[in-house]
Amino acid sequence: MARKQTWRESDRMVGSTTKNLVKWVIQSDRRLVTLRCFKHAQFLGASDISQSTGRSIQNSSTALSELERMRVAEQLEPGRRTWKKYRLTDTGKVVLEYVERELSTGMFERLADEFSFRYVRDAFRLIVTEPIIVTKGMGLRDVVEKVLEDPRTRSAYVVDSKHRVVGMIALKEMLEAIEGSLSLFENVRPPARLRQRRKLTPFSVEAHMFKPVTVMEDDRIIDALEKMIEHGQEDLPVVDENGVLIGELNGFEILLLGSEVMRRQERDLETGT
């Protein structure tokens, strides 16, 4: 009976062109988000991607053109129903598969020798690839349920109609909401801090969110870490120049980085290098 090929063995067999395409996609937030939209639909246009991601049509159109230029995606024949619609090529399907593997398993270890990991863009998405997005009008219970669906997440980001970050709800705020709920259930007077918040709609996102400190892709990791410590935020929203949410820098992603740095330092001490 033939032995089943392991993932690492199959990874070594992937051509250098495909590997380079995977790196090329991951290094651009615009290309990465656009490519991953094809997980859920076979045919997509710029307006479809813009609607599902909150990005501008121009941003999505540029990404599609880039993917087409590298033969990752191809435009369908112009027509009434398919004009400016795209689909993945066979190469694109392989690239998407390996992009998902990179994002979910061992990406940090495999890229550690190729990137310096000095900047936010090198680290965010190692754990949380798609941050939880909510709006002011949602109930806090809905937010908690969203967080529970993915154990890697501990925070939710409140955005406006243009996908700009206007607030954040972290684990602490969710626990405070649970405390308030239990107080009502046990018929106990809630703490003063919760009574003040209930002047807004009880258990609403707006009542419990706070204005977060943000970072951008080109910010240094060390500066992001200082922000985390100074402001008591274990996670930081990553935004573009317009304040639009593009990802999350998770505290555990920095722990991964720190673990790798310490491992290398210990190795250098042992070898005397």
CATH number at residue 159: 3.10.580.10
Q: Are 244 and 163 in contact (CB under 8 A)?
A: yes
For the stretch 24-60, pLDDT in tens is 998 787 898 899 999 989 999 999 998 887 778 888 9
The predicted model gives 210-229 an average pLDDT of 92
- Report if residue 216 sits inside a domain: yes
CATH number at residue 32: 1.10.10.10
- Report if residue 77 sits inside a domain: yes
Residues 38 and 87 in one domain: yes
Q: Are 25 and 31 in contact (CB under 8 A)?
A: yes
- Report if residue 119 sits inside a domain: no
213, containing H or E segment: none
Residues 139 and 212 in one domain: yes
Instruction: State the total domains in the chain.
Output: 2
Residues 136 and 32 in one domain: no
pTM (predicted TM-score): 0.55
Residues 147 and 247 in one domain: yes
How many C-beta atoms lie closer than 10 Å to residue 23's C-beta?
A: 14
Residue 111 has pLDDT above 50, yes or no: no
User: Can you name the residues that pair with 158 across neighbouring β-strands?
Assistant: 134, 167
Residues 60 and 165 in one domain: no
- Report if residue 2 sits inside a domain: no
Domain limits at 196? 132-262
Q: What are phi and psi of 134, to 5 degrees?
A: -135, 175
- From its phi and psi, is residue 12 left (phi > 0), alpha (psi between -120 and 50) or beta? alpha
Quick one: what percent of the chain has pLDDT higher than 90?
A: 35
Sequence-ordered strand ranges (E) for the chain:
73-75, 86-88, 132-134, 156-159, 165-169, 235-239, 245-250
- Report if residue 251 sits inside a domain: yes
Q: Are 158 and 240 in contact (CB under 8 A)?
A: no
pLDDT for residue 265: 66
Residues 99 and 151 in one domain: no
**What sign does the dihedral 205-208-214-217 (CA atoms) show?**
negative
What's at 110, amino acid-wise?
R
Name the token pair of 11.
Answer: 């990874």
Residues 137 and 94 in one domain: no
The predicted model gives 181-209 an average pLDDT of 61
Residues 90 and 136 in one domain: no
Residues 227 and 146 in one domain: yes
- Report if residue 183 sits inside a domain: yes
Residues 212 and 254 in one domain: yes
Query: Nearest to residue 210, comparing CAs of 224, 219, 197?
Result: 197
Characterize the bridge pairing of strands 73-75 and 132-134: unpaired
Residues 155 and 236 in one domain: yes
The per-residue pLDDT of the chain, averaged, comes to: 80
- Report if residue 269 sits inside a domain: no
pLDDT for residue 5: 43
